Amino acid sequence: MTKYSETSTRCARAILKAWRSRNFDLLDQKLAKAAVVESTSEDTGECERWELLNGIAHEFRRVLASGRIQEAVVYLPLLENLARPAVVSSRRAAAAPYWHVATAVPASIQ
């Protein structure tokens, strides 16, 4: 079973949408929110995505505040990656040792 993490994904999408529309007031609002949100998810992958998003948002805001808008483009590929849904394994699948995934045992081991 897999599930998709959506909160960090939606936030990254909202930031990109504001950037592409050149709505810098909305962009600043979205970045400010993303810079301070803490994940309440039990999923470590989603927590890591939020940590990345927090750092990107903080630096993105700093660059924009300095007036160096052209330098902000370095954050776009990172945001685009975070805007894609992350497939996260369920706890049961994540806890299974790697050798349980094998479907065939090589003849040399038998």
The pLDDT tens digits for 72-101 are 999 999 999 999 987 655 554 555 444 444
CB 11 within 8 A of CB 78: no
* Least confident interval from 18-22, 64-68, 75-79, 103-107: 103-107
CA–CA gap between residue 43 and residue 74 (Å, rounded): 28
Q: Tell which residue, 56, 42, 55, 57, has the closest CA to residue 5.
A: 42
Residue carrying the six token digits 């996260």: 88
Whether pLDDT at 6 is above 60 = no
- How confident is the model at residue 59, as a pLDDT? 95
Whether pLDDT at 58 is above 90 = yes
Kindly indicate the confidence band of residue 3, based on its pLDDT and cuts at 50, 70 and 90: very low
Q: What's the pTM value of the predicted model, to 2 decimals? A: 0.71
